[in-house]
Structure 1
Amino acid sequence: MVSRISGAVFLGHPHCRDEQWLRLSVDYSINVFQTSFTLKLFPSAFHPLISRLIPAQRRLSRNLKDAETIIGPIADEIRKKNAGQTADVEREIPGSLLSWMVHNSDFKVTDNGTLAATQLILTLASVHTTSMAVCNALFDICAHPGTLRPLLDEIMQVLDGKDPEQLCTQDLSQMKKLDSFLLESQRFNPPILLSPQRVTMEPITLKDGTFLPKGTQVAWPAANILMDPNVTFDPEAFNPWRSFEQGNETSPASTNAYGHTSEKNLLFGHGRQACPGRFFAVAEIKMILARMLIEYDFRFCNQGCRPKSLTIDEMVFPNPFAKLSIKRRNEGR
C-alpha cells in the first residue's frame, strides 16, 4: 500500500500499480538491509571481499538491472512526450518526480541507469519506515482500544461529510489528536535508536573541549532522549493525547505536530539536514490510517497482547510474525 502511494508521486499513474515495480521496491530495501547487517559483522577492510560472497548483494545487482528495464521505457516516454516543449514549459508541468528528474536535474542523473538507481534509493528511504509507522500505530490502537473512538470522531469531523478519497493536505493538518497519537506511538517504537548519525568531514573541537578527528562517527541517542523523565513527564506511560494537551496549553500546535523536529525529538533529525521527506511520509501515514479506521475494525488474534518490536543493531522493526484480525465494518455503523 505504501509502495503504491509513494509510487504515485515518484512514477505517477499508472506505473505506481506495476506489480513488478512494487515487488522490486520492497525487495531492494530488504536486500540493502541484509547486505548492510552482514558487512557490519566484519572489519571494513574486508568489505570488498565479503560483499562478493553475500547473496543479498548479488540480488541487489539484479534489482538495479530490473529497475532499469522498468524505469527506462517510462523515462523515454517522458522525453518523447515533452520533446517539443521549451525548458520553461517543462518546469511548469506538475508531473511525477521522475518527470521532474528527467527535465530539471542539475546533477547529470538523466541516464536511465542512474534514474533507476535513484528511484530505488527513494523507495528505500520512504517505503519501509512509513510502513513500520503504520504497523506500530495499528498495534497501539489494538493495545489501547480507548484511542479508537476519539481518533475516529476527529477524522469524521474533519471530513465533514466528504468522501475519504477527497482528503487534502489542509484536512490532514487539522487532525491534531492523530498527530499526538502518532508521536506517542513513535516515542515507544522508534524506527532507529540513534538519530541523526553523522561523520565529521573535518576536525571539530566541541565547546567542552572534546576533540573529534576527521572521519569520526557521531550519533545522538534519540530514543533515550524521548524516554528521559527530564524531557517527557512520566515517560513509561503511554499517553496518546500528550502532545495534543501540551499544544492546547503551553505551545503552538505546530511545535507538537508529527514530523516536527527539536532538540528533544531527533528521530527525524534536526536543523538543515532533517529528513526532507518527513512531511510527505506523515501525510501518507495519516491518509492510510484515516481510511483504515473509517472502514475497518482491528484486534489482536486470539486476544493476544501487543507484539514486542525487534532490534538489530540500532534499527528497530515491528515483529514480522505478529498478526491482526481485520474486519470491514457493517454499512451504516
Structure 2
Amino acid sequence: MQFRLQAGRTQNGAMEQVLPGISPPPRSPMHPKTILATLALLTAVLFYLTHNRTGLPRVGGKGPIGFILTALRSIMSYEELLNEGWQKFGGKPFILPTMAGQLIVLGPENLDLVRTSDDSVINQPIVVHKLFQLAHTMNSRQMAFPYHATVVRTDLTRAISSFIPEIVEETQLAMAEAFSPKSGEKSVVVPLFKTVLHFSARIVTRAMISTTLCRNEVYLREIIRFAETVVPYSQILRWFPKAFRPPIYFLLSSLFGGSKAPIKTLLPHLKRLLAEREQHIERNPRTICDFLIDHAPSEEIANPELLAMRVLHLNFGSVHSLSAVGTFAIFHLATLSAFELDDIRRELIDALESEGGFSKSSLSKMCKLDSTLRETARFYRLAFAGLPRFLVKPATLADGTVIPAGYNIAFPLKRIHYDATVYPNPEKFEWFRFSNLREEDGSGAKHQFTTVGKDLLLFGLGRHACPGRFFASMELKILLSHLLLHYDVSLADGAKEVPKPTVFSSNTIPSLSARAVITPRLGQAGQKFRAV
C-alpha cells in the first residue's frame, strides 16, 4: 500500500507534508490569554513571597527583582548580608531575603521574648520541621511524635556514666586504627574533618547499638553520608515549591544517598532487639536503642522501619554537631605551642589521676578543655543565624513593633557571640577565656560548655535547649583528651593558621580538604586511662 504525501501550507507560508487520513500534530503556540494568565500567576506568587507586611526595612536591592538577586546572593554570602543589614539599619530588626523566603532578623534585645514564649505564639517545632524538611529527609513523625527528645532528656542523660566505658574503649580503638603510622614512618597525615566524622559515627553508633554495627564500615559510611546530606538537601528543597520537593529529594537521594541504605542495614539489628524484648531478655549494658524501644509508640514497634528512622534522626544530630565542634577544636589545638598544650595535658592527667580514670567527676574537672569547647562554639557558631522560630500568632518586639503571624525569625549569631561588651577581644580565639572567667567568678556552672544563656546560643535557649548537650560534652571531652594525651597534632604542609570553614547558605562546617599530621606520643602520655 502506498501513501501519497500531501502538501499543506503553514501559517507563516512554509510548506509541510502530511500523510492522508492522519491529522497533523496540533499547533502549540500559547494563546495570548494563556500567556497573560501564566504571567499573572507568577506575579501573584512573587508578590506573595516578597510582599512586606511588617513595615520593617529589607536588606538588598529594591522590588521583586532586588529580592530575587539578594536571595541568590544569600547562598554564598549569607553572613555578609546579615552584617550589611545590621550596619545599615543600626541593629534594628530587618528582613533578609533568602532562597526559602523572607527571614526577619532580630537583635539580642528580643532574646527574652523567644526564651519566655511558648509554641502557641513563637513556635520551634514548626521551624525545625521546615528547616530540615523532615517530611522528605526523614518523615513527618519526627516532630509530630517527638518521643526521642524525651529519651535524650531523661533516660540518656541519667545514664551518661554507664556509657563512659563504651565511649572510652571505642575512642581508643578508633584512634589506634586511624593514627598508626606505616612501617618506618613516625606520623600519619589525615583529612581531619573526614576522620573526625568517622570517629563520631563510630562512637555514637557504639552508644546507639553497641558493638554490633559500630565497626561495620559499610554502615558507618551510610550514616555519615546521611548526616552529611540532611542539611544541604533541606536547604535545596526549601528553594522550591512544595509540589517539586518529593521528586527533587528522590533525585538527590538516588544520586548521593539518603535514608534507605542505612535503614536497610539497621533493620535486622532492630528486629533482633525487638525479638529479645518479646522474650524478656535483659540487655546489659543498655543502649540508646533500648531506651527508644521503651518509649516508642506501638505503631513504631510494629513497623521497625519507623523506629530505624528515629535512630537515624538521633545519629544525624549527634554526628553532625560532634564532628564539627571536634574538628574546629582540633584545628586550633594544632596551632598551640608545646607549652600551652602541656598546660592542658597537666590538667587532664590531674583530673584522671584524682578520680582513677574517666568518669563524670574527672570529666567535670577538665576545665581548660571545657573552656576550649565553649570558645570553639562561640567562635565558629556552626550557623550564621540562630534560634530560628516561626510566628504562629503576631508577636510584639521589644521596641513595640508588631510582627504578623506567618513569618520566620532568627538572630545573627556573630552579633551575639562577638559582642565586645561580653567578650573582650572577640575576634581572637582564646582557649582559656571561660576557664579564666570561672576562676574570676568562682562559678563552676555559669561558664561551662553545656550552660545555655543569652550570650552563647550553640545549644539554643529556654525550653527548647538541646537535650543532648550533656552527652555530646562527654563524648567530645573523651575524644579530645585521649587525642591530647597520646598524640601530637599539627597542620599539614607547615600551615600555622586554622583553615577557613566551608560555607553553604546559612551553615558552616570545617574545611573539607584540610589535613592534619598526627604523631603518636610514645612513652610520654603514660598509661592509657581507663573508665571507672
- TM-score calculated relative to the size of structure 2: 0.57
In 1, are the aligned partners of 2:228 and 2:320 still within 8 Å (CA)?
Answer: no
Higher alpha-carbon deviation: 272-281 or 202-211: 202-211
Matches within 5 A, 1:179-258: 179-258=370-449
| 1:160 alignment partner AA | E
State the match for 2:227 in structure 1: 29
| 2:520 alignment partner AA | R
Are 1:71 and 2:263 counterparts? no
Structure 1 residue 299, shift from structure 2 partner: 0.8
Q: Structure 2, unaligned stretches of length 5 or more?
A: 1-198, 526-532
State the match for 2:27 in structure 1: none
Find 1:132's aligned residue among 320, 324, 345. Answer: 324
State the distance in 2 between where 1:53 and 1:262 align.
38
State the distance in 1 between where 2:477 and 2:298 align.
33
| 2:498 alignment partner AA | R
| 1:256 alignment partner AA | H
Deviation string 1:23-76 (CA, Å, 9 cap, x unpaired) is 111111222233223234x3x42x43255246423357x643323322322222
Are 1:83 and 2:278 counterparts? yes
Find 1:283's aligned residue among 462, 474, 480. Answer: 474
| 2:215 alignment partner AA | R
Report the structure number with the largest CA radius of gyration.
2
How many residue pairs get aligned? The number is: 323
- Pair 1:78–1:50, CA change in 2 (3 A): closer
Are 1:122 and 2:307 counterparts? no
Structure 1 residue 157, shift from structure 2 partner: 0.7
Q: Structure 1, unaligned stretches of length 5 or more?
A: none
Structure 1 residue 94, shift from structure 2 partner: 5.9
Higher alpha-carbon deviation: 291-300 or 96-105: 96-105
Structure 1 residue 283, shift from structure 2 partner: 0.9
Higher alpha-carbon deviation: 75-84 or 318-327: 75-84
Deviation string 1:124-154 (CA, Å, 9 cap, x unpaired) is 1110221111111111112232531111111
- Pair 1:270–1:99, CA change in 2 (3 A): same
Are 1:171 and 2:362 counterparts? yes
Task: Flag as ranges the 4+ runs of structure 1 deviating above 4 A.
Answer: none
State the match for 1:300 in structure 2: 491
CA RMSD of aligned residues (A): 2.4
State the distance in 2 between where 1:161 and 1:266 align.
33
State the distance in 1 between where 2:493 and 2:353 align.
36
In 2, are the aligned partners of 1:9 and 1:97 still within 8 Å (CA)?
Answer: yes
- Pair 1:288–1:220, CA change in 2 (3 A): same
Are 1:12 and 2:207 counterparts? no
Deviation string 1:86-122 (CA, Å, 9 cap, x unpaired) is xxx97x9762121222233247432211111111111
Higher alpha-carbon deviation: 242-251 or 198-207: 198-207
- Pair 1:248–1:332, CA change in 2 (3 A): closer
Secondary structure of 2:439's aligned partner: helix
In 1, are the aligned partners of 2:270 and 2:308 still within 8 Å (CA)?
Answer: no
Structure 1 residue 262, shift from structure 2 partner: 0.5
Higher alpha-carbon deviation: 51-60 or 122-131: 51-60
| 2:269 alignment partner AA | I
State the distance in 2 between where 1:185 and 1:68 align.
33
Deviation string 1:140-197 (CA, Å, 9 cap, x unpaired) is 112232531111111111111888xx41222111101111122222222221122211
Are 1:318 and 2:513 counterparts? no
Deviation string 1:293-326 (CA, Å, 9 cap, x unpaired) is 1111111112113211122222111111111111
Are 1:56 and 2:252 counterparts? yes
- TM-score calculated relative to the size of structure 1: 0.89
Matches within 5 A, 1:133-148: 133-145=325-337, 146-148=339-341
In 2, are the aligned partners of 1:141 and 1:147 still within 8 Å (CA)?
Answer: no
State the distance in 1 between where 2:415 and 2:342 align.
31
Identity among equivalent pairs (%): 26
Secondary structure of 1:185's aligned partner: helix
| 1:22 alignment partner AA | L
